[in-house]
Amino acid sequence: MATPKMTTKDGFEFQLGTNHLGHFLFTNLLLPALTEPKKPVRIINVASAAHMMGSVDFNDLMREKTYSAWEAYGQSKLANIMFTYELAKRLSYQPNVTVNCLHPGVVRTELGRYMVKDSVFMPFAVALASVFFKTPAQGAETSIYLASSPEAQNVSSKYYTDCRPVSSSQASYDAGAAKKLFDVSAELTKATWTP
């Protein structure tokens, strides 16, 4: 989260490559197996409320011109949500498949290691995290809910936090941008099967 500027082995901006393109490709590789059986299938993407500070910049998707760690993170999490909505639309002919995403909350993990590394604020951040952040088990609750709850069985194309659907950012509902992102992601990852 909010990493210094770096790239993946494939040359993608690190956060977009890790948080979106990797998940996009993995999901696409699994789709033929997931859509074959008529058993219920739930595809769940872990996004973040940080998507609200993101925008997908198709002119500089890899953030080569200007780089802000938080803008890149926000873009990657917005991409998670747009991918969720577009995939749900493309799989709408499969009534047994649902696609949802979630914000797990602010969780005490190593995810924020780049934010306070070698900082004079580190002791304060650790104290704050121990009091106000969710435990990893609490952070997993919405993922578990979406994977197993009968209430979420037939719900698709939603963004959840604390086990309930909420609105995501206005940008996340841009259907044209979501379709374009899906197509660009398929081209970048060389995904061979797309619904």
3-state secondary structure of 99: strand
Q: 140 pLDDT band (50/70/90 cuts)?
A: confident
The domain locations on the chain are 14-39+48-94+169-189
**Higher pLDDT residue, 83 or 103?**
83
Q: Which of 73, 85, 145, 159 is catalytic?
A: 73
> Does 183 have pLDDT greater than 50?
yes
> Does 117 have pLDDT greater than 70?
no
pTM for the complete prediction? Answer: 0.86
Q: Identify the CA nearest to 53 among candidates 73, 79, 80.
A: 73
Written as one string, the DSSP assignment of 27-55 is: HHHHHHHHHSSSS-EEEEEE--GGGGG--
For the question of residue 73 being annotated catalytic, the response is yes
